[in-house]
Amino acid sequence: MNNKTKKLLIISLAPTILKDGKYWSYSPYVNEMDVWFKYADEQRILAPFSYPDDVLIKPFSTNSIKRYYIPFFAFNSILNTIKAILFMPLIVFQMIRAMAWADHIHLRCPANVCLVASFVQIVFPWKNKSTKYAGNWDPNSNQPWSYRLQQSILRNTFLTRNMKVLVYGDWPGETSNVYPFISATYKVEERVAFRAKDYTEELVFVFAGMLVPGKRPLLTIQFIEQLNQQGIPARLELFGDGPLMQEIKSYIEERGINNQINIKGNQDKSIVKAALLKAHFNILLSKSEGWPKAVAEGMFYGCIPVSTSVSCVSWMLGHGSRGIIVEPTLDAAISEFIKIFKTANLDSMAKDAINWSQKYTINRLERDIKDVLNGTFESRV
């Protein structure tokens, strides 16, 4: 029996580029889309063919993809808004064509493309649909109006029919079509057993992410510096690269804290994994997240997460039972960390973190995606 969806349509902002006879796109997006495509007989993508920024791309694993052309558009300036309005008849026409073809329509939100698609899908109430909302679903967070509008349409079960809206975290009081849906990085066979760590020795923290203002890497470095000043020996293994790299290097040099901060740059997943296995904590003092991947990866290998309460982080950390939630200011973060560090059972916290995170594997993600496409998905958070 063939359990595959016959015709799968993906609508996304991620550019789909023809190169060397194959379609290419943003690498993390391709990794997940390859799983969705595995469970469809025919695959089509509606997305821009170009993007204004350079991104790390890779080819899709299937060669049978077809695409619908739409131009890149944005509403971030008067000129771009005028262009978007002029393009809109073509964009809507292409979306109607694409949705009419599909058996299953899958939106990758939030994005300007999917804002338009969330309106167009209303005229196809009988079609099977799903949305992967990769941003912050927290109804109390401060977000752009366009994100709020997409969320309002998607959770409206009168306007949005036959749709499973897949979001990060479990949000009480949501409509019946909103489902917690957890991403994954590692396979079942990459699980490790819990191993107690010595928290009386120098504390090792791991930061893994882009060196951009939203991730607050400089605040992370100041956090480590302040711990050492307060008599708690600590060291940071910093993985990643980005526009703040030079500023970070200058700060470390000026403060003379080279022995506290080890800049690793971008590294292979296996190297980050080895660091997480040895570290005591992983740290992410981010301003905003969709799925805080670095937090989940650290928990998978027994690192206690230290994180701000953004997006679904509080839920992931069991509201403090399997991680340390801090405020995004240096003094408050240090005060909260030291209080918990000195009073909590850290081995128990780390064990709870690893037990929770290791439920969410790539194997499970594949089963969940297959169930979404078959219409049988029920969240198992």
- 3-class SS string, 210-264: CCCHHHCHHHHHHHHHHHHHCCCCEEEEEECCCCCHHHHHHHHHHHCCCCCEEEE
Is there a cis peptide before residue 110, judged by omega within 30 degrees of 0?
A: yes
Are 213 and 231 contained in the same domain? yes
Residues 150 and 268 in one domain: no
**The pLDDT of residue 1:** 41
Q: Are residues 113 and 207 in the same domain?
A: no
Residue 380: inside a domain: no
Q: What local confidence, expressed as pLDDT, does residue 63 receive?
A: 87
Q: For position 109, which CATH number holds?
A: 3.40.50.2000
Q: Are residues 348 and 365 in the same domain?
A: no
Q: Are residues 193 and 303 in the same domain?
A: yes
Q: pLDDT per position in the chain (381 positions), as tens?
A: 456 779 999 999 988 988 888 999 988 899 999 999 999 999 999 998 876 566 678 999 998 899 999 998 888 889 989 999 999 999 999 999 999 999 999 999 999 999 999 999 999 999 999 999 999 999 888 888 899 999 999 999 999 999 999 999 999 899 999 999 988 889 999 999 999 999 999 999 999 999 999 999 999 999 999 999 999 999 999 999 999 999 999 999 999 999 999 999 999 989 999 999 999 999 999 988 888 989 999 999 999 999 999 889 999 999 999 999 999 999 999 999 999 999 999 999 999 999 999 999 999 999 999 999 998 898 777
Residue 310: inside a domain: yes
DSSP reduced 3-state for 26? strand
Distance CA 255, CA 171 (A): 43
Determine, yes or no, domain membership for 309: yes
Would residue 171 count as lying in a domain? yes
Residue 59 CA to residue 24 CA, distance in Å, equals 4
> Do residues 103 and 194 share a domain?
no
Residues 192, 176 share a domain:
no
pLDDT at 75: 86
Please indicate, yes or no, whether the overall pTM of this predicted structure exceeds 0.85. yes
154 and 197, same domain (yes or no): no
Do 197 and 178 sit in the same domain of this protein? no
- Structural domain range at position 252: 188-357
**CA dist list (Å): 316 to 277, 300, 335:** 20, 12, 22
Q: What is the reported pLDDT for 52?
A: 58
| 311 Rama class: left (phi>0) / alpha (psi -120 to 50) / beta | left
Distance CA 368, CA 179 (A): 11
Predicted local confidence at residue 2, as pLDDT: 55
* Crossing angle of the two packed helices 245-255 and 217-229, in degrees rounded to 10: 20
Cβ atoms of 132 and 117 within 8 Å: the answer is no
Domain assignment present for residue 95? The answer is yes
342 and 368 part of one domain:
no
Strands 22-26 and 57-59: antiparallel
Judge if 200 and 273 occupy the same domain: yes
- Bridge partners of 7, per DSSP, are 42
Helix (H) or strand (E) holding 81: helix 78-101
For residue 268, is it within any domain? Answer: yes
Contact 216, 313 (CB under 8 A): no
Domain count, the chain: 2
Same domain, 332 and 366: no
Domain-located, residue 245: yes
Residue 379 falls within a domain, yes or no? no
